[in-house]
Amino acid sequence: MKPQGIPPTTTINQTKMSFRGKNAVVTGGAGGIGLQVSKQLLSAGAAVAIIDLQDNLEEFVKLRAAHPTQSVMIIKMDVANKKGVEATYEEIAKTFGNIDIVVNVAGIFNDKDVQRTLLVNLGGIINSTLSALPYMGKDNGGKGGIVVNMSSVVGLDPMFIIPVYGATKAGIINFTRCLANEKYYQRSGIKFATVCPGATMTDMFTNFTEKIIFPETSDETYRILDRLNKQSAADVSRCILNVLEKDKNGAVYVIEGKRVYPLEIKPQWTGKEQAL
């Protein structure tokens, strides 16, 4: 899965002070990669609001106990619920005053449930991102900031066993790159980046073969999964903080083997007019 011809970054060097005093929102923060991102941001000095439909009371208690002087908001909300997400961001903005960082991680895997997969994986990213903009943009009284949306390597390179999931991840890349238009950045002060992790050990893919739409591929699916080099959610979260530190508008990164690789995506449509 490692992109060819792209040199890896150097070993991750976290500068925790860069996040001190920042206000961050993490969707999908109740478990997996999202929970690890929340922990990393809190350890680096940020206040964190977690948006998730799932409950993880034990971990939330630990977060608050470990960071008693920092704000930790927990909001139970389905990211597929547009109106609910909008109201959630209004609540967060009232509590925090401003929003500096958004990391959209929330997602599911169930190719058999096409509508739910589309609504959560792609719709949820869109809902969260667009709901955050009024509270971040300099053109609306905000301070600017950065939004990092989590896609996947299967959004870059097709994997035949998960076409629905892969389609949502491809959509995330395009959506995020569209918002990274320089004209919009000059007006809003908001940067956008996309991260594409490789195989990562999370609970999302439990009972994997029961959620694929072509059951006849089960044997091949297991062989593919066994061959993949897997990384932990904590590994990916450290890389995401590294991406936040890079603060590069429009960037797309692959996270593979506990390292961050910048990806160069060249224009394919040569006939389009220049951006307005």
The 8-class DSSP code of residue 266 comes to -
pLDDT of residue 276: 53
| pTM attached to this predicted model | 0.89
Strand partners, 253: 195, 262
What sign for the dihedral angle of Cα 133, 179, 196, 20?
negative
Top-level class of domain 23-256 = alpha beta
pLDDT of residue 154: 93
Of the residues 89, 135, 165, 184, only one is catalytic, namely 165
Q: Which of 36, 37, 43, 45 is nearest to 17 (CA)?
A: 45
Q: Which residues of the chain have pLDDT under 70?
A: 1-17, 205, 221-222, 225, 272-276
Q: Is there a catalytic annotation at residue 165?
A: yes
pLDDT of residue 4: 42
The 8-class DSSP code of residue 190 comes to E
The 8-class DSSP code of residue 205 comes to G
Strand order in the sheet with 23-27: 72-76, 47-52, 23-27, 101-104, 145-150, 190-197, 252-256, 259-263
